[in-house]
Amino acid sequence: MSDSSPSIPRHVAIIMDGNGRWAKQRGLPRIRGHEAGAESVRSAVRTCKKLGIKYLTLYAFSTENWIRPRAEIEGLMGLLRYFLGKEEKEFHENRVRLRVMGRMRDLPEKVQSALNRMMEITAHYDEGQLILALSYSGRAELSDAVRNIARRVRQGALEPEKIDEKTISESLYLPDVPDPDLMIRTSGELRLSNFMLWQLSYSELYFAPVFWPDFREKDLIAAVEEYGCRQRRFGDVK
């Protein structure tokens, strides 16, 4: 993931949807769909590196996902730890930094430890960033941001009249990360599902009909090519 040209998005965010339905179509347990989806994660990281996309954010586990069956949640958390261990070499070879956005404190301690370790040993890499949205939702992020702003006001560090869009952006989970240029959702669903509600205000949206386990290099390239054909106006007339 290196510096990109104007036709290549700097930041791509993906809602990885369809693992369960992919498994159901094949008569498999849902966890098998998540396992197959891990290969698509690997493919996406490699393709971003190849195309010069510097930031890749993956919606891996939402705050709403905690209502899923305990067995599925435990399987997902175990898969996450396995993925981190298996991909460590590739993180180093590609000099990709791992980051997390969301309420990490909600995750099992072993998962937190694995994530913290990987974030620490990759913190100095500058070829690209893989951001996992874990125990994340856009509304939760905005709630946390408002709470932090209110705390600053109460402490006298910020005047209410000075609160603007920049104040809110700087109070989000990863304020140094640029807003996504392109948001991709797989499985054919046409909604944001509480994902990066503030940051996606001017992002280009792309909906792929394939389930996430089937989303590979050619599909990501197709989305990026579509992005390159669009004209981003940001409210202006061009």
pLDDT of residue 48: 97
Q: Is residue 126 part of a domain?
A: yes
Is pLDDT above 70 for 233? no
Q: Is residue 150 part of a domain?
A: no
Is pLDDT above 50 for 2? no
Q: Count each helix (H run) and each strand (E run) in the chain, helices first.
A: 8, 6
Is pLDDT above 80 for 19? yes
Whether the CB-CB separation of 53 and 127 falls below 8 Å is answered with no
Q: Is residue 125 part of a domain?
A: yes
| Spacing of C-alpha 79 from chain mean position | 17
pLDDT of residue 230: 87
Is pLDDT above 70 for 237? no
pLDDT of residue 46: 95
Can you tell me the mean pLDDT for 213-228? 97
Q: What is the set of active-site residues?
A: 17, 65
Residue 70: CB atoms within 10 Å: 8
Q: Is residue 235 part of a domain?
A: no
Q: Is residue 3 part of a domain?
A: no
User: How many structural domains is the chain composed of?
Assistant: 1
Q: Which residues of 192-211 are buried (b: 16+ CB within 10 A; e: fewer)?
A: bebbbebbbeebbebbbeeb
Can you tell me the mean pLDDT for 200-228? 97
Q: Is residue 94 part of a domain?
A: yes
Residue 192: both structure tokens together: 């944001």
Give pLDDT tens digits for 152-164: 999 999 999 999 9
Give pLDDT tens digits for 172-202: 999 999 999 999 999 999 999 999 999 999 9
The domain that holds 49 is classified in CATH as 3.40.1180.10
Q: Is residue 236 part of a domain?
A: no
Residue 164: both structure tokens together: 């603007």
pLDDT band at 7 (very low <50, low <70, confident <90, very high): confident
Q: Which domain holds residue 221?
A: 11-137+180-229
| Spacing of C-alpha 203 from chain mean position | 14
Whether the CB-CB separation of 13 and 192 falls below 8 Å is answered with no
pLDDT of residue 72: 94
Give pLDDT tens digits for 44-72: 999 999 999 999 999 999 999 999 999 99
Q: Is residue 50 part of a domain?
A: yes
Predicted TM-score (pTM) of the model is 0.94
